[in-house]
C-alpha cells in the first residue's frame, strides 16, 4: 500500500491540533474518514504513528521523527501549487521571445509596456537575432515564440502572419533623391547602395525586389547593423535600404526616408511557434496582445 498526500495531511493536522475532532473539522472530513486515513497510513508504514484515546492523540517516537519531513514535503508541494496558480493567472511568469532587431527596437517595446500595465509581475527575455537564428531558438524551445521574416518552411514550426513592412531608401536630406516623389528600383540602381549583409531577411527582400524589376542589387557597401548603414548614408557613401519597421529608417533632421515602389519590396513578418506545443500562460496572453496591437496599428 502506498502512502498518499491525504494520509500525510491528516497526520500533520492531528499532530498540529492535538485531536482527531479538531483535525477533522480543519480538513472538512468526518471523524471516521480521518480515522481511516490514519489507519491506512499506519498500515503502509507497518507501525503506529499516533497513540490515541478518547480525549487526545499523541505522537509515537516514529511519528515525531516523521513529522518534520512530512511538514517540509507539504510545504514544498503547497508552494509549487501556488506558483502554478500564479503562473496560470499571469500574476507571475516569464515571456521569452526571439525577435528581429528592427521589430524589437520599435514595435515591441510599447506593447510590452502596455502588457506590463495589466500584468506587472510578468518578466520578459528578448533575444534579438536574424531570421535563421530565430527559427533555431524556437525549435530548441530556448524561447516561447519568435518574430521573424523571410521564407519559412519547416514542419517543426507553426507560422502565423503578424504584419507586413516595406523597404525604405534612407539618404541625407540634401541628396538629389529628396526632390523625387517616387523612389523606384531603377532610380536606385543609378546610385551607390548600402545593403545589409546576405544573411539578413532585409537583404533577401531587397534582392528579390530588384530581380522583380529586371535589375540586380549591387552593393557599394555592406553592413551587419542598421545603425552602421545609416551612418554610412549620412556620410554620403550611398543610399541605405532598410525596413520601415526599423528605428534607423525613420526620418530625422539630417536624414530622409522614402518608401521604395514595387510589391516585391515588402516583407511579411511572421510569428513562429514550435508545432504541437502549448505556450506558457503569460506568453500566450502576451501574443494575443501583440497581434491585437499590431492589427490596430495597421
Q: What is the pLDDT of residue 270?
A: 93
Are residues 246 and 217 part of one domain?
yes
Are residues 233 and 116 part of one domain?
no
Q: What is the pLDDT of residue 280?
A: 86
Single residue among 59, 88, 117 that ends a domain in this structure: 88
CATH of the domain at 172: 3.40.190.10
Q: What is the pLDDT of residue 90?
A: 57
Single residue among 63, 88, 113 that ends a domain in this structure: 88
Q: What is the pLDDT of residue 82?
A: 62
Domain that holds residue 229: 166-265
Are residues 239 and 202 part of one domain?
yes
Are residues 240 and 115 part of one domain?
no
Q: What is the pLDDT of residue 89?
A: 57
Are residues 171 and 130 part of one domain?
no
Query: Nearest Cα to 243, choosing from 168, 295, 153?
Result: 168
Are residues 173 and 248 part of one domain?
yes
CB 244 within 8 A of CB 120: no
Are residues 141 and 207 part of one domain?
no
Are residues 275 and 214 part of one domain?
no
Q: What is the pLDDT of residue 167?
A: 95
Single residue among 66, 88, 110 that ends a domain in this structure: 88
How far apart, in Å, are the Cα atoms of 242 and each of 51, 167, 239? Answer: 80, 5, 10
Structure letter (DSSP) for residue 253 = S
Q: What is the pLDDT of residue 44?
A: 86
How many separate domains does the chain show? 3
Are residues 183 and 115 part of one domain?
no
Q: What is the pLDDT of residue 282?
A: 86
Q: Where are the beta strands (DSSP E) in the chain?
A: 50-52, 57-59, 93-99, 122-128, 145-149, 157-172, 193-196, 219-223, 239-243, 255-259, 266-274
pTM: 0.66
Are residues 275 and 138 part of one domain?
yes
Query: What cell numbers appear for 139 in the block?
Result: 525549435
How many Cβ atoms sit within 10 Å of the Cβ of residue 70?
20
CATH of the domain at 76: 1.10.10.10
Are residues 141 and 278 part of one domain?
yes
Low-confidence ranges of the chain (pLDDT < 70): 1, 54-55, 79-92, 297-298
Grid coordinates 506545443 are at which residue?
A: 277
Are residues 272 and 255 part of one domain?
no
Q: What is the pLDDT of residue 81?
A: 66
Amino acid at each position: 500500500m502506498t502512502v498518499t498526500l491525504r494520509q500525510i495531511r491528516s497526520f500533520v493536522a492531528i499532530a498540529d491540533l492535538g485531536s482527531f475532532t479538531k483535525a477533522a473539522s480543519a480538513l472538512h472530513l468526518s471523524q471516521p474518514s480521518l480515522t481511516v486515513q490514519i489507519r491506512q497510513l499506519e498500515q503502509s508504514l507497518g507501525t503506529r504513528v499516533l497513540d490515541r484515546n478518547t480525549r487526545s492523540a499523541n505522537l509515537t517516537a516514529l511519528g515525531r521523527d516523521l513529522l518534520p519531513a512530512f511538514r517540509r514535503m507539504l510545504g514544498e508541494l503547497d508552494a509549487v501549487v501556488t506558483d502554478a496558480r500564479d503562473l496560470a493567472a499571469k500574476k507571475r511568469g516569464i515571456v521569452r521571445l526571439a525577435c528581429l532587431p528592427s521589430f524589437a527596437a520599435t514595435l515591441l517595446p510599447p506593447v510590452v509596456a502596455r502588457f506590463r500595465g495589466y500584468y506587472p509581475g510578468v518578466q520578459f527575455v528578448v533575444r534579438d537575432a536574424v531570421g535563421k537564428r530565430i527559427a533555431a531558438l524556437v525549435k530548441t524551445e530556448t524561447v516561447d515564440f519568435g518574430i521573424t521574416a523571410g521564407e519559412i518552411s519547416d514542419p517543426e514550426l507553426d507560422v502565423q502572419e503578424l504584419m507586413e513592412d516595406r523597404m525604405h531608401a534612407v539618404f541625407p536630406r540634401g541628396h538629389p533623391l529628396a526632390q523625387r516623389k517616387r523612389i523606384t528600383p531603377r532610380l536606385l540602381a543609378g546610385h551607390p547602395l548600402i545593403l545589409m549583409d546576405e544573411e539578413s531577411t532585409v537583404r533577401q527582400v531587397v534582392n528579390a525586389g530588384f530581380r522583380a524589376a529586371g535589375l540586380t542589387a549591387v552593393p557599394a557597401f555592406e553592413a551587419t547593423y542598421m545603425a552602421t548603414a545609416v551612418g554610412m548614408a549620412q556620410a554620403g557613401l550611398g543610399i541605405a535600404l532598410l525596413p520601415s519597421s526599423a528605428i534607423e529608417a525613420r526620418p530625422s533632421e539630417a536624414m530622409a526616408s522614402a518608401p521604395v515602389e514595387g510589391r516585391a519590396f515588402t516583407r511579411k513578418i511572421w510569428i513562429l511557434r514550435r508545432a504541437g506545443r502549448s505556450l506558457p500562460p503569460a506568453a500566450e496572453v502576451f501574443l494575443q496582445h501583440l497581434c491585437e496591437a499590431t492589427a490596430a496599428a495597421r
